[in-house]
């Protein structure tokens, strides 16, 4: 049985650049070009409507550039992203952050072949695609210390990119970790310990061995004893602070 084709979109403001890439891809049997975009706005519209598996994305475009396109990707149809650019410092930075690969203009056939191998490998794991895109979105805003952190949540077989600021809390139940937002619960793709490390420096506090709470969403704190507290979040969900974490919460109360 033939492999499911990789549905690709080409995004570049230079028609000749799209033509060259199209001609390089057309002989590849498992790649099907389903759309082209000459600017960021068209790219966003086509990604949302066509739901491609792969986006070849130029970063330097007038108006909405490639970085802004990355910032606006959301929902459950998350594509692999290959950065295409004439500036190697942008490409290497994006690749280090999580792009599947990068292609420098002018393109080379051998280099494109190795790039597609990376795409095929990554597509075996939807979770890995989402994690890759989450890292790329973190790259697009601000200095490293000021960038928003992204977390990946799952509902059924669909994966979603969430801003850490949207998350009220993370709650572990045995091997599962739930991501709690104001209106939805998602399954996390990483253990609670890894998530806590990823969000270091933000206002998340481990209040219990199975709970990590965004203190920006705490509506009320009430003492249960000299060392234990009850936290009420903005969605009215309650968390009990363990004795082990009681002092840390008391320090937060003093700071407040």
Mean pLDDT of the chain: 84
Percent of the chain with pLDDT over 90: 38
Which structural domains are found in the chain, ordered by start?
Answer: 6-139 (3.40.50.2300), 151-255 (2.40.50.1020)
* Exposure class string for 127-140: b at 16+ Cβ within 10 A, else e: ebbbbbbbebbbbb
Confidence at residue 87, expressed as pLDDT on a 0 to 100 scale: 73
Q: What radius of gyration do the chain's Cα atoms show? A: 21
Confidence at residue 251, expressed as pLDDT on a 0 to 100 scale: 64
Per the listing, tokens 């209106």 go with 183
What is the side-by-side order of every strand in the sheet holding 238-241?
218-223, 229-233, 238-241
Confidence at residue 2, expressed as pLDDT on a 0 to 100 scale: 52
The candidate with the shortest Cα–Cα distance to 130, out of 91, 167, 161, 93, is 161
What value does the mean pLDDT take over residues 226-242? 86
> Peptide bond preceding 106: is omega within 30 degrees of 0, i.e. cis?
yes
In terms of pLDDT, which residue wins out, 240 or 146?
240
pLDDT at 24 exceeding the cut of 90: yes
What value does the mean pLDDT take over residues 210-216? 92
Nearest 5 degrees, angle CA 187-CA 190-CA 196? 105
Measured CA to CA, the distance from residue 251 to residue 256 in angstroms comes to: 9
pLDDT at 141 exceeding the cut of 60: no
What value does the mean pLDDT take over residues 237-246? 83
What value does the mean pLDDT take over residues 227-242? 87
Among 46-60, 79-93, 220-234, the range with the most confident prediction by mean pLDDT is: 46-60
Nearest 5 degrees, angle CA 68-CA 72-CA 78? 120
Phi, then psi, of 178 in degrees rounded to 5: -95, 140
Among 64-73, 82-91, 156-165, 206-215, the range with the most confident prediction by mean pLDDT is: 206-215
Residue 164 is classified by DSSP as G
Q: Residue 106: pLDDT band by 50, 70, 90 thresholds?
A: confident
pLDDT at 205 exceeding the cut of 60: yes
Contact 104, 86 (CB under 8 A): yes
pLDDT at 55 exceeding the cut of 80: yes
Confidence at residue 94, expressed as pLDDT on a 0 to 100 scale: 66
Contact 197, 207 (CB under 8 A): no
Confidence at residue 143, expressed as pLDDT on a 0 to 100 scale: 43
Q: Out of 71-75, 76-80, 146-150, 207-211, which region has the weakest mean confidence (pLDDT)?
A: 146-150
In terms of pLDDT, which residue wins out, 108 or 239?
239
């Amino acid at each position: 049985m033939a492999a499911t084709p990789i549905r690709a979109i080409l995004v570049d403001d230079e028609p000749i650049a799209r033509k060259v890439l199209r001609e390089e891809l057309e002989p590849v049997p498992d790649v099907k070009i389903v759309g082209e975009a000459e600017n960021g706005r068209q790219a966003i519209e086509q990604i949302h409507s066509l739901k491609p598996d792969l986006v070849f994305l130029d970063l330097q475009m007038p108006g909405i550039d490639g970085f802004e396109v990355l910032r606006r990707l959301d929902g459950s149809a998350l594509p692999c992203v290959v950065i295409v650019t004439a500036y190697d410092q942008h490409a290497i930075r994006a690749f280090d952050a999580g792009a599947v690969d990068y292609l420098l203009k002018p393109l080379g056939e051998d280099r494109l072949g190795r790039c597609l191998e990376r795409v095929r490998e990554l597509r075996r794991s939807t979770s890995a695609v989402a994690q890759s895109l989450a890292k790329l979105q973190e790259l697009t805003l601000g200095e490293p210390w000021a960038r928003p952190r992204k977390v990946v949540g799952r509902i059924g077989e669909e994966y979603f990119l969430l801003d850490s600021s949207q998350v009220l809390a993370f709650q572990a139940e045995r091997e599962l970790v739930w991501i709690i937002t104001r209106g939805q619960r998602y399954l996390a793709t990483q253990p609670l310990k890894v998530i806590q490390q990823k969000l270091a420096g933000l206002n998340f506090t481990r209040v219990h061995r199975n709970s990590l709470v965004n203190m920006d969403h705490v509506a009320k704190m009430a003492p249960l004893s000299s060392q234990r507290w009850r936290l009420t979040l903005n969605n009215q969900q309650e968390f009990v602070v363990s004795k082990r974490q009681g002092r840390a919460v008391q320090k937060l109360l003093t700071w407040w």
